[in-house]
Every structure is written in structure tokens, then in C-alpha cells.
């Protein structure tokens, strides 16, 4: 009597020993090749120069507002207000202040600082209107961003 032998099934396995190396290389590649956007490139802004500058050390309290002419001609040629990567109208400044205050801890809400980064060619009328809206919203601490003026020594 002849015995029928069962054929053993070969189990194919994929080695995962090099998987951590591959994951690390991919992670490293994407970290190196990623572009971190630091500036809002939708507005043309050249800040005015100043001779005396002060810095604020309270970064958590600073909320930035940018005012300038849009780079995209489809948005017009008049200066517009940009906050947190979106455009707002002058009438929405008070609403923006309330949203930003809500993001702060309760004890720091009345200490919020609005940093205005405006193009040097923006008319003071618009800046004054924004200041009025900020005052009505009880955002009274306002800073203006400028670049340091280099003075020639004689």
C-alpha cells in the first residue's frame, strides 16, 4: 500500500526587519523637504522704518493683523485687512477681537495685544478706523511693526 504524502504548503513571509529604517528615512525626507510658510504672501507689505524699537516678550498675548494691498489683482487695489490667513472687512474687526480673546486664558483676556503690520503706504484714515474699532472692542494695547532704520554716522 502506498501512502499518499501531503504536500506541505510553503508559507511566504515578508521580512519587516528593515521597516523602521524605511519609515525613518521617509520621515526625515518629508521633514527636510517641507516648506514652512512664515509670512502671509497674499499682501504686499513694506513696513515703515523706525529709530526706536521695543519688543514684547509676551508672545501668547500678541495677535497679528496685516494691512496691505493684495498681490492678487482680482481682490482689488485698495488695502485690505488680513488676520490668521483670511481677509476681513473693517466691520468684522470687533468680531475678530472677540474670537482672539476667547482663545486666551481667562486671566489674560484683558491683556491681549494687537500687533498691526501695515504697509508704509496705507493711509492713516484706515489705521484710525481700525484703532476706533479696537477701542470699542476694549483691545487697547496696540503695537505697530516696523523695521529698524539704519542711520548713517558722520
For residue 143, is it within any domain? Answer: yes
For residue 107, is it within any domain? Answer: yes
**Of 92, 90, 110, nearest in space to 101 by CA:** 110
3-state secondary structure the chain: CCCCCCCCCCCCCCCCCCHHHHHHHHHHHHHHHCCCCCCCCCEECCCCEECCCCCCCCHHHEEEEEEEEECCHHHCCCCEEEECCEEECHHHHHHHHHHHHHCCCHHHHHHCEEEEEECCCCCHHHHHHHHHHHHHCCCCEEEECCEECCCCCC
pLDDT at residue 154 in the model: 38
- Number of structural domains the chain divides into: 1
pLDDT at residue 153 in the model: 43
pLDDT at 1 over 70: no
pLDDT at residue 27 in the model: 92
For residue 1, is it within any domain? Answer: no
pLDDT at residue 24 in the model: 92
What are the tens digits of pLDDT across the range 11-64?
777 788 888 999 999 999 988 888 776 655 667 677 766 666 666 667 788 888
The enclosing domain of 116 has a CATH number of 3.30.420.270
For residue 17, is it within any domain? Answer: no
For residue 120, is it within any domain? Answer: yes
Give percent above pLDDT 70 in the chain. 79
Region of residue 52 (left: phi > 0; alpha: psi -120 to 50; beta: else): beta
User: Is-above-0.75 flag for pTM?
Assistant: no
For residue 11, is it within any domain? Answer: no
pLDDT at residue 122 in the model: 86
For residue 124, is it within any domain? Answer: yes
For residue 144, is it within any domain? Answer: yes
Domain carrying residue 119: 43-148
Confidence band, pLDDT 50/70/90 cuts, at residue 95: very high
Amino acid at each position: 500500500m502506498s501512502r499518499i504524502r501531503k504536500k506541505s504548503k510553503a508559507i511566504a513571509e515578508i521580512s519587516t526587519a528593515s521597516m523602521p529604517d524605511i519609515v525613518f528615512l521617509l520621515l526625515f525626507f518629508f521633514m527636510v523637504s517641507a516648506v514652512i510658510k512664515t509670512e502671509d504672501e497674499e499682501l504686499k507689505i513694506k513696513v515703515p522704518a523706525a529709530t526706536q524699537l521695543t519688543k514684547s516678550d509676551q508672545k501668547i498675548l500678541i495677535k497679528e493683523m496685516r494691512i496691505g494691498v493684495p498681490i492678487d489683482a482680482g481682490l482689488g487695489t485698495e488695502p485690505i485687512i488680513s488676520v490668521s490667513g483670511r481677509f476681513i472687512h473693517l466691520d468684522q474687526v470687533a468680531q475678530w477681537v472677540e474670537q482672539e480673546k476667547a482663545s486666551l486664558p481667562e486671566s489674560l483676556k484683558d491683556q491681549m495685544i494687537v500687533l498691526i503690520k501695515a504697509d508704509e503706504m496705507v493711509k492713516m484714515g484706515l489705521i484710525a478706523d481700525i484703532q476706533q474699532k479696537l477701542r470699542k472692542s476694549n483691545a487697547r494695547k496696540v503695537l505697530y511693526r516696523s523695521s529698524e532704520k539704519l542711520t548713517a554716522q558722520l
